[in-house]
Every structure is written in C-alpha cells, then in structure tokens.
Chains A and B, each alone.
Chain A
Amino acid sequence: MHHIYCPYCEETREEEEYSYTGEAHIERPKDPAAITDEAWGDYLFFRSNPRGIHHEMWYHAAGCRRYFNVTRNTQSYEIHETYKMGKLPTVTAKTIAADTLAAQQGDAS
C-alpha cells in the first residue's frame, strides 16, 4: 500500500485517502473545434503506459480534496516526488537515465 506525500497538506498519508486519477500533464486542447478527429482521439483515449517512470495525478479525496502530481515508478512503485498542479516534474525518465549513467561512469573512473 502506497504512502503518499500530499504537497498541499505537507504530510505523508496512507493510500486509502487518495484516488488515482490518470496520467498527468494531459492538456485539454485550447480550441477543440479546430483540431482533427485524430488529434481529439489522441487527447481522449491515448495514454502512455510506461514500465518505469510515470507522471500521474492523484486526488486527495479524503483529505484536502486537491489534485496533485506524482512521479512514480510503475514497476517498483517507488515514488520519486509529488508536486503541485501546474508544476513540472524534476525527476523524469531522462534524469534517471542520466543519473544512472553518471553513477556508472563514476564507478568506472
């Protein structure tokens, strides 16, 4: 069971207080009428399903009722960070890969 830090409550609470609400950073097209059916379909239905780092939204339903973002490893369930709506993640698949590479090079030298 996850133990999740709510960036608004500034407390780590049990998963039971939260609900998962899907991939983060999916922006609603500004002018839906202006885009193609295909682009609208992408927005509606297509989500990344990575094995590894995933940015996702959680809702503190039994707490402050705020939505926030979580960077979580879908394989290990490690939570790297949680951050407020409107902010960008500091941990991404890229930064993790770079860190790993740096660590390997550090080992090699």
Chain B
Amino acid sequence: MSQVNRLAAGGRIDRSKPMSFSFNGKTFQGFHGDTLASALLANGVGIVGRSFKYSRARGILGHGAEEPNALMQLHQGNAAVPNPRATQVELFDGLVSGSTNGWPSVEFDLMEWVGKIGGKLMPPGFYYKTFMAPQKMWMTYEKFIRKAAGFGKLSLEPDPDTYDKLNVHCDVMVVGAGPAGLAAALEAGRSGKRVIIVDEQNEFGGTLLASNQTVDGVDAAAWAEQATTELVGMANVTVMPRTTAFGYYDHNFVCALERRTDHISPVSVSGSRQRLHRIRAHQVILATGAIERPLVFGNNDLPGIMLANSVSTYINRYAVVPGHRCIVMTTNDTGYQTALDIQAAGRTVVAVVDSRHAPDGRLVQAAKAAGIEVMTGHGVIEAQGSQRVTGAIVAPLDETGDKLTGTGKTLSCDLIAVAGGWSPVVHLSCHTGSRPVWQDDVAGFVPGPTIQNQHLAGAITGEYRLSEALNAGIKAGAAAAGTESAQVFNCGDESEGAAQALYLVPHTKPSSRAPKQFVDFQNDVTAAGIELAAREGFQSIEHVKRYTAMGFGTDQGKTGNVNGMAIVAKTLNKSIAETGTTIFRPAYTPVTFGALGGRDIGVLLDPARHTAMHPWHLANGAAFENVGQWKRPWYFPQAGETMQQTLNRECLAVRNSVGILDASTLGKIDIQGKDAREFLNRVYTNAWSKLAPGKCRYGLMLKEDGMIFDDGVTACLNDQHFLMTTTSGGAAAVLGWLELWHQTEWPELEVYFTSVTDQWATCSFAGPNSRKVLEKLCTDVDLCAEAMKFMDYREGTVAGIQSRIFRISFTGELSFEVNVPADQGHYMWKKLMEAGEEFGITPYGTESMHVLRAEKGFIIAGQDTDGSMTPYDCLMGWAVGKTKEFSFLGERSFSRPDTARADRKQLVGLKPKDPTVVIPEGSQIVMDPNQPIPMDMMGHVTSSYWSECLGHGIAMGTVKGGSERMGETVYCPQADGRVLAAEICSPVFYDPKGDHHND
C-alpha cells in the first residue's frame, strides 16, 4: 500500500530504510525514523481507536506524550504491551500493532450505536447513579462495564524480558532536551559539574527538530545536533534519550524510565528491555516544555482534527501531511506557522480561522503574504463528518470569543488543525506537593513555589518563544551549576501577537444540546458534562474531576485539563485562579511494572535466610515454612505420609523418645556491660538481679502500654554477660527496642547489644532420651539431673566442638539446646543424628513444635498474643516481678482501669466437645450460637491442633473473662454452617505438673 500522505523529500526519516508493519491485520510501509503514528498517518489511516465511553471513532490528535486517543496494542503472545501511545512508539520492521478496542472492528463498531443512542442517557456519574442499587450487584455490573470500556490487554504469560534499576547521583539533572534543556545542559556541562540530561524522545531537540527557525543563523535542527554532539563529548555529562523522567519526589529525587530496546524488537535480544534510573540530584532543571491545547467545539473529536503544532511536526519531522484540504483554527500566532507548513508541503489551506479580531504578528503577516485566506474574529463551532471530518461550520465571534455574532457557513475540509494556546507541562513540578499557579498573561498554569532545588526554563514558564527558551536555559544552567554566563541567543522571533484565551467555542445551541464538545478525549468528558457536574453542586475542582473522570487515567489531563477547569470556573462565575487546578501525580506517562520490579522478582524479591543445617533439611525432604525471611523446616514427611501423619509421628517421637529441631532462627542478642543486669530488669517483666551465672530465665517483654511484645529465654553467662533469645520474626524489632531505650532514656547504663543470630547455630533436641543422646557426645559436662537442672546453662565440648548448652524446653519434655558457631552447625546436627540413631531420633519441624508447645499451653508471641494481651491476660502473672525496684517497661499500665478490668479477653484452653474435631484457627467464639447476627463475640481461637498423644483436638483462644469461665461451653460458628462446641479449660493439656521437663 502506498504512503499517500508522505512527502517526497524532507523530514528526519531515512527513506533508504523502508519498514513493514501491521495495524489491525493490514500491512503498511513506513521508514526508519517514523513513529507508529507518523507511519499510520503517512498511509492515510484515520481511525485508530474507539473512545472510552461512547465508542466514537477517534484518530490521532497529537504527536507525543499528550496523545489521548491512539492507544495501541503492541506485539503478540508473552511480549504483548497494552496501551502505549502510537505517537511514542518508534517504528521497526515487523512491528505488529492494533487498536485496543472496537468490535467487530474500529471502522465499524457496534458499541458506537450504544453510545449514540445512549449518549444522552450517560451523563457524568451515570454509573454511580444507575448501578448504585442493589449494592451487591455492583460486582456483576462492573464486570460488564469494564469489558465494554477496556483498553489494551495484558499477556497472562510471564514477561520474557528482564529489567533493571540503577541508583544515580548528579549535580544537575536536566529534564527535557528541547531548546531550553539543551542550553541548560550545555551551560552546566561546560562548568564541569556532573550533569544528567534525559528526554523521552529518540532524538534530542524537542521542538527544534520540527522548526523552521534558526538559532544564531543556524538551522534549528542542525543547532540541536551540534548541541547534542557537544554534550555527548563531555565526560561529565550523561545523555539519555528515550528516557522519561516520570516522577519527581522529595529532596530532589527523580525517577526516570529508559526504554533500551523497545525501538528494536518486541522482546529484547540482549540485555534489559528497560531500566529504571533512581536519580538523586543536587539541582533539578525542569525544561519540560508545553503542550498545545485543543479547542472545544462541536464534534471536535472527529478523526482529522489535530493539534496544529502536531500537524507541523508531522510535516517537518516525518514528511507526512495528514490531510489535503486543511483549515487551521487558532487563538494565537503559532497556528499560522502550521498554515505556512501545510502550504509549503503542497496541500491546500482552506483558511486560517482566528478567534482574534485584529491579529498582526510576524507569522500572521507571513501567512497573508503567502496568499493564505485569514478569517479573523471567527471560530470553528462545529465539525462535520461521521468517520472523518468532511467540513467545518465557521461563524463570527464577538471580541471576547464568548458569543456568536452572526450565522455560520460550512467550509469543506479533511483536516482541521487546532491551536488553542499552550499549557506548560507542570506535572513534575507538582509531584513534590507544589501547587501550580494560574497566570492570566500566559493563559495557563505555571509551576508554583517549591522547596526543592528546582529551576525552570523555557515553555514550562509560559514563555514560548525560541530565543527566550534558549536564554532561559542558559540562565537555569548557570544558576544550577553556580556559574555565570552572558550568552544570548538570537532567533529573530521578537514580535509575536498576544494570544486570546478561548476555552469553549460557542455554538448556536447550548452545550447540552449542541453536538458533543469534548474536553478530555481519553475519558470522554464533554463541556456539557462538566457544566452539569457544576450545576449538580460539585464546586471543588477535585470533586468535578472525580465526578466526571476528567484528567484521569494515562492521560492525566495533558490536553484537556485547562479547558475543563476554565469551563468549571465560568459555570461557577469564578476566575480560573479561584477555581484552581487538580494536582498531577506520578507517573507522567505510564511505567511498566517490569521496570518498577527490576531484578527484585522471583527468588530475588526478598532475601531468603537459610540456617547452617539447611542442606541437610533439603536432602531429607523437609517441607519449608517462611518465618520472616527464614526458611524453616515445617515438617519432614516420609514416603506415603499425609502431613497429619507426619506430625503425629514427629510429636510421638518427642513424647516417647527424642526429636530434634533446628532452632537456629531464634533471635540471639549478646548483651554485655556492667549494667546489663539492670537493663534486663527494666525491659523484662521479671527480676534478673539474682539470676546466677549458669542459669536461664524466661522473660516477657512489654510495650509501655503493658501489652506483650516478645518473649524468650535469657541466659546469664557471667555477671556482665547475657545471651537473650527472641522470637524468630521479632529479632530485629527487639534489638531496635533495646537500643531505643538505651540511647534515648538510659544512656548512663553501660551496656552493649550485638545481634549474634547468624553467628550461632542451634540444635534443640527433646524427649525422654535426649540426655542419653547428649551424654554420648559430651563428656566434660555433668549432665545428670542433679548437676544440670532444668533452666541451667553450661559451656562444654560436644562432638569435639566448644558449645553452649542450655537445658530449656519448649515441648514440655526433658530437652537440651546446643549452640555452636554457625559454620559447625551442620556438622553438629549430623553428629546428633548419628548419636540419636539408636533412640530413633526424629527430626521435626515448626508445625510439630507448635503442637508440642500448645499441648503444654506455651504461647507464641504474635500468634496467641496480638498486641492487646497483658501477661495477666495470658495467665502469666507468674512471670511478672512484683517487687522490682525500677518500674519496668509496661508495669505502670497494669493499673490503668482498662488494663485492670476483670472481663478482659483472657487466654484459655479449649477442648472440643467432639474429640475428633480440630477447630479452625481464627474462629470466633460466642456463648450462644442461636442468637441473631451480629452475634455477641466473646473472643477467638488463636491456636488449634490435633494432639496425637492426647487423642483429641486441642485449642487455645481468648475469651472475655475467660479465667472465670472454666468448664463453660462456648461455640465457634463456621462459615459452612457448622457450630463447633468446646469446653473452656486450662491451656496446659499435657503434664500439668511439669514432671517431664524436670526429669
């Protein structure tokens, strides 16, 4: 197919490199240097998609990030990319593209008829109003609404590409490589500062690349090339094209997305597809330019209506003229340049329609001199056509542009270029919380005051002349680099006429009856819709936004916001400055999740911590459980076992002979110093003053509100040296907690904390035969019951390794823990397995550990407690020192009225009435299952297991006033309708006197 709109010469495309691509199944030709949009326009493709709400035919409006309509579905299979803008997709040979919606096709779309018939019936808030009731049906409605509206489709297969991230620092970060950005980077770069300059396009230069102007006598595009070459040559300057600074965060932190291979192939052939740059800059220069505003008139969304500046860009940069008979509708001088460009390209300019009554700028005169018909004091009030614009109704306007002063006439055309003035790209400046301010002389919002080290240059400040952009760039570069420069550029663009602010072109009918006048193309928001929202009482611009969806989505109001806000202001009889603007948030343009994830996916998502014995666990078929970042053996299944059978076997082995557990993950904090003992007194509930060397004690740690926060056993190694253990998940928090109190309240105490969790490996073996196992390996410590009592600590040699031996128990059985330096942990484990073989030593995991401890009623902080349980609530008043001199953390809170209440939720044991039942953990507890919903909830089940050694289910839970309710029956209603009954009992189900662990 021929490129009907391609010029024979000119542009920055490479005609020697033709490229074939497909769009909606048809094959087309383009050239290297094209965007998908310029190639589609070259081939005369008009309709590229269907609108979001009304399914109207839509064509390409812009040429860059502002494009609201041309959202594409790119590539196939696992490489599919939904929703990139055709204007930002660089063409490559074999590119497969399509529209994101339209059924059965974009040319003939059935939903359009729904839009046409139902359009009047779909005002803003339509969904809220129509589908509000019944509420539970919303999920059903939503499914269909989303389907009808949806944009692109994701692949459900894994992404075949890799992505990465880079942390970067620089002195000066320049965002945008148009004239202002290039000048700024040159100035800063020449000073020797470390400079990064990014631009979202493939080539640096911005508007210079499509300009007919000159810079100091040099052709604008040539000047851009020179400047870029100079920047690339500076070792201190990093030049990044195809890189979008999408977010500007606190303290001059900028995130930029570099598209490394998107322009080459669907999937990167080598290296990462995209890279996220996390840039911390001393100074940031925003040279982000401005976006042209469309004009709001009837049917202004027809394909063939484009931004004037985009038309010029397609002609000058891509050698594509997207129409044959063109009307330019403008409110300022820049539209005339487009008319001149169209004429120079050999196509017909039907007329320039200028809303101003007496324009007289340099470009106006040039257009008149070129013989172009200029209709001043007129406006296009309505476009005609169904699938593409075929004509325009042009009517005379009054001086203000508010009213029609006569009847219109119809001009035939196939392209309307609209120049509605410019909106500075203030998005990034808003990301850090700075509110943009309205400036009447600019007829736009410009960046407001900020606390960032931020500089502005060029069109972002509302100064649109090329010479001003360059000169402001030099100034900003000098200010950011701390240099001075007197360089001034001359572009011969001094005289330009004043622009007129025209946000809604009047129609013979009111907006509500006129053909749809679109403000936000991507979200199908019309002038009538905005006026209706204002009339319905939405006065805050933020509310109007949410009610109409104006400025939502990937568009972020780039083309529509200012027109929309002006319409709101006018409806409310306020100024735009009074109405204000919504705030733009990151990201400026969409960012792939792949880039945000980078390499931090899969196994690298979060570090996994392995104990020294991990290889043994793997080799012996352990099933693992995540405990914080630790991988802990959960249970050790043998062939043919169900999980419950494994647990039963493991638990019985501990109760009847000996089992072994890898307890290395328990947090271990080494505490030293002459005041270590006093410190423990203050942070633990119980007394530590008299704990002798060689003894261990269980301690409860509370927050100041009296609630349990962590627990563990601490051993006294000597008078100034203690070893504290914490829960596996709480180790870091406990260390931070100890440091907090030491550093902020008690710096006078001489005490030092060191995390030694990773330095020691811990083998915990429990059961009546555990002593016999240890005796085989340890000969230099007297292990007999009289010499080494329960809660004793010894140092000795086990299997030839200097070890720390604790006689402590979390199972209720006779139990020892042997700590060895981590690099010997695996060896020690194997030695204990060998020594225990004759007793059938059985490795067990965390699940059996939970069962064994629950049989004994031992709590797990964080499972049986949830930050609202005092020691008394857990029936652990025995662990609270009553006569301690120092008011330990949390003690004072015991006497607060709420903490002292008798009917607080207290920890109890629960014995299911049906012994075969295991009540699901988390079940709610009620006293009367027959009461109406919502029931009076008394507590919940915190731990629940099958106890093989007891032959029935056991549970722990919290119940209001539970300690006074022993023997009462409670009920746990289930989601499936069952009601499980249980009797409140002591949580100590097994060996209540503790004979076993004292053996």
Task: Name A's B-contacting residues (CB within 8 A).
Answer: 1-3, 14, 19, 21, 27-29, 31-33, 35, 37, 40-41, 43-45, 57, 59, 61, 65-67, 73, 75-79, 85-86
Q: Could you say which residues of chain A place their CB within 8 Å of the CB of B251?
A: 1-3, 77, 79
Q: Could you say which residues of chain A place their CB within 8 Å of the CB of B892?
A: 29, 32-33, 35, 40
Supposing A1-B249, A32-B887, A37-B897 touch, asked if A44 and B739 sit within 8 A by C-beta, the answer is: no
B293 at the interface (CB under 8 A from A): no
Could you tell me the distance in whole angstroms from the C-beta of B759 to the nearest C-beta in chain A?
17
Q: Could you say which residues of chain A place their CB within 8 Å of the CB of B109?
A: none
Q: Could you say which residues of chain B place their CB within 8 Å of the CB of A1?
A: 249-251, 253
Could you tell me the distance in whole angstroms from the C-beta of A68 to the nearest C-beta in chain B?
9
Contact call A33/B887, Cβ cutoff below 8 A? yes
Contact call B736/A59, Cβ cutoff below 8 A? yes
Q: Which of A28, A43, A45 contacts B745 (CB 8 A)?
A: A28
B743 at the interface (CB under 8 A from A): yes
Which of B433, B747, B892, B896 has most chain A Cβ within 10 Å? B892
Contact call B743/A77, Cβ cutoff below 8 A? no
Contact call A77/B745, Cβ cutoff below 8 A? no
Smallest CB gap from B755: residue in A: A65
Q: Which of A2, A57, A75 contacts B744 (CB 8 A)?
A: A57
Mask, B877-893, CB within 8 Å of A = 1, is: 00000000001000111
B486 at the interface (CB under 8 A from A): no
Task: Name B's A-contacting residues (CB within 8 A).
Answer: 249-253, 280, 432-433, 451, 704-705, 732, 736, 739-740, 743-745, 747, 887, 891-893, 895-897
Could you tell me the distance in whole angstroms from the C-beta of A12 to the nearest C-beta in chain B?
9
Could you tell me the distance in whole angstroms from the C-beta of B667 to the nearest C-beta in chain A?
15
Complex Cα gap A2–B704 (Å): 29
Could you tell me the distance in whole angstroms from the C-beta of B260 to the nearest C-beta in chain A?
24
Could you tell me the distance in whole angstroms from the C-beta of B679 to the nearest C-beta in chain A?
14
Smallest CB gap from B703: residue in A: A44
Nearest 8 Cβ contacts at the A-B interface: A32-B892, A3-B251, A32-B887, A77-B250, A78-B451, A67-B743, A1-B253, A76-B451
Contact call B745/A76, Cβ cutoff below 8 A? no
Q: Could you say which residues of chain B place their CB within 8 Å of the CB of A28?
A: 704, 745
Contact call A31/B896, Cβ cutoff below 8 A? no
Complex Cα gap A32–B888 (Å): 9
19 interchain pairs, CB-CB under 8 A: A28-B704, A31-B887, A32-B891, A33-B887, A37-B896, A37-B897, A43-B704, A44-B893, A57-B744, A59-B739, A61-B732, A67-B739, A67-B743, A67-B744, A76-B433, A77-B250, A77-B432, A77-B451, A78-B451
Which of B249, B251, B280, B736 has most chain A Cβ within 10 Å? B251
Contact call A65/B739, Cβ cutoff below 8 A? yes
Contact call A40/B893, Cβ cutoff below 8 A? yes
Q: Which of B253, B891, B895 contacts A37 (CB 8 A)?
A: B895
Q: Could you say which residues of chain B place their CB within 8 Å of the CB of A77?
A: 250-251, 432-433, 451
Q: Could you say which residues of chain B place their CB within 8 Å of the CB of A29?
A: 892
Contact call A61/B433, Cβ cutoff below 8 A? no
Could you tell me the distance in whole angstroms from the C-beta of A77 to the nearest C-beta in chain B?
5
Which of A59, A67, A73, A78 has most chain B Cβ within 10 Å? A67
Please report the number of residue pairs spanning A and B whose Cβ atoms sit closer than 8 angstroms: 66
Smallest CB gap from B432: residue in A: A77
Complex Cα gap A32–B894 (Å): 11
Contact call A85/B895, Cβ cutoff below 8 A? no
Q: Could you say which residues of chain A place their CB within 8 Å of the CB of B896?
A: 37, 40-41
Q: Could you say which residues of chain B place their CB within 8 Å of the CB of A33?
A: 887, 892
Complex Cα gap A20–B909 (Å): 39
Could you tell me the distance in whole angstroms from the C-beta of B431 to the nearest C-beta in chain A?
12
Q: Could you say which residues of chain A place their CB within 8 Å of the CB of B250?
A: 1-3, 77
Q: Could you say which residues of chain A place their CB within 8 Å of the CB of B432?
A: 77
Smallest CB gap from A38: residue in B: B896
Contact call A21/B740, Cβ cutoff below 8 A? yes
Q: Which of A3, A41, A73, A76 contacts B253 (CB 8 A)?
A: A3
Q: Could you say which residues of chain B place their CB within 8 Å of the CB of A78?
A: 451
Supposing A28-B745, A59-B740, A67-B740 touch, asked if A3 and B280 sit within 8 A by C-beta, the answer is: yes
Complex Cα gap A1–B704 (Å): 31
Which of A27, A41, A66 has most chain B Cβ within 10 Å? A41
Q: Could you say which residues of chain A place their CB within 8 Å of the CB of B897?
A: 37
Which of A21, A41, A43, A44 has most chain B Cβ within 10 Å? A44
Assuming A1-B249, A2-B251, A33-B892, what are 18 further A-B pairs, CB within 8 angstroms? Answer: A1-B251, A1-B253, A3-B250, A3-B252, A28-B704, A29-B892, A31-B887, A33-B887, A35-B892, A37-B896, A57-B744, A61-B736, A76-B433, A77-B250, A77-B433, A79-B251, A85-B744, A85-B747
Q: Could you say which residues of chain B place their CB within 8 Å of the CB of A2?
A: 250-251
Q: Could you say which residues of chain B place their CB within 8 Å of the CB of A65?
A: 739
Could you tell me the distance in whole angstroms from the C-beta of A46 to the nearest C-beta in chain B?
13
Supposing A1-B250, A3-B251 touch, asked if A44 and B705 sit within 8 A by C-beta, the answer is: yes
Could you tell me the distance in whole angstroms from the C-beta of A30 to the nearest C-beta in chain B?
9
Complex Cα gap A86–B705 (Å): 24
Contact call B745/A86, Cβ cutoff below 8 A? no
Which of B250, B745, B895 has most chain A Cβ within 10 Å? B250
Q: Could you say which residues of chain A place their CB within 8 Å of the CB of B736?
A: 19, 21, 59, 61
Smallest CB gap from A35: residue in B: B892
Q: Could you say which residues of chain B place their CB within 8 Å of the CB of A43?
A: 704
Q: Could you say which residues of chain A place their CB within 8 Å of the CB of B249?
A: 1
Complex Cα gap A34–B951 (Å): 52
Q: Could you say which residues of chain B place their CB within 8 Å of the CB of A61?
A: 732, 736
Q: Could you say which residues of chain A place their CB within 8 Å of the CB of B740?
A: 21, 59, 67
Complex Cα gap A29–B252 (Å): 40
Complex Cα gap A1–B248 (Å): 9
Contact call B747/A86, Cβ cutoff below 8 A? yes
Complex Cα gap A88–B513 (Å): 67
Could you tell me the distance in whole angstroms from the C-beta of B442 to the nearest C-beta in chain A?
25
Contact call B743/A66, Cβ cutoff below 8 A? yes
Smallest CB gap from A31: residue in B: B887
Could you tell me the distance in whole angstroms from the C-beta of B739 to the nearest C-beta in chain A?
6
Smallest CB gap from A45: residue in B: B705
Q: Could you say which residues of chain A place their CB within 8 Å of the CB of B732?
A: 61
Q: Could you say which residues of chain A place their CB within 8 Å of the CB of B891?
A: 32
Q: Could you say which residues of chain B place their CB within 8 Å of the CB of A19?
A: 736
Complex Cα gap A55–B896 (Å): 29
Q: Could you say which residues of chain A place their CB within 8 Å of the CB of B744?
A: 57, 67, 85
Q: Could you say which residues of chain B place their CB within 8 Å of the CB of A57?
A: 744
Q: Could you say which residues of chain A place their CB within 8 Å of the CB of B895?
A: 37
Smallest CB gap from A25: residue in B: B744
Could you tell me the distance in whole angstroms from the C-beta of B426 to the nearest C-beta in chain A?
17
Could you tell me the distance in whole angstroms from the C-beta of B171 to the nearest C-beta in chain A?
14
Q: Could you say which residues of chain B place their CB within 8 Å of the CB of A66?
A: 739, 743
Q: Could you say which residues of chain B place their CB within 8 Å of the CB of A37?
A: 895-897
Complex Cα gap A16–B433 (Å): 21
Complex Cα gap A28–B960 (Å): 32
Supposing A37-B897, A59-B736 touch, asked if A85 and B253 sit within 8 A by C-beta, the answer is: no
Which of A14, A21, A32, A73 has most chain B Cβ within 10 Å? A32
Complex Cα gap A28–B249 (Å): 36
Could you tell me the distance in whole angstroms from the C-beta of A75 to the nearest C-beta in chain B?
8
Complex Cα gap A1–B252 (Å): 9
Complex Cα gap A37–B894 (Å): 10
Q: Could you say which residues of chain A place their CB within 8 Å of the CB of B893?
A: 40, 44
Smallest CB gap from B886: residue in A: A32
Q: Could you say which residues of chain B place their CB within 8 Å of the CB of A21?
A: 736, 740
Could you tell me the distance in whole angstroms from the C-beta of B587 to the nearest C-beta in chain A?
15
Contact call B743/A85, Cβ cutoff below 8 A? yes
Q: Could you say which residues of chain A place their CB within 8 Å of the CB of B705?
A: 44-45
Q: Could you say which residues of chain A place their CB within 8 Å of the CB of B433?
A: 75-77
Which of B433, B451, B745 has most chain A Cβ within 10 Å? B451
Could you tell me the distance in whole angstroms from the C-beta of B60 to the nearest C-beta in chain A?
37
Smallest CB gap from B891: residue in A: A32
Could you tell me the distance in whole angstroms from the C-beta of B197 to the nearest C-beta in chain A?
21
Complex Cα gap A67–B746 (Å): 13
Smallest CB gap from A73: residue in B: B451
Complex Cα gap A59–B17 (Å): 58
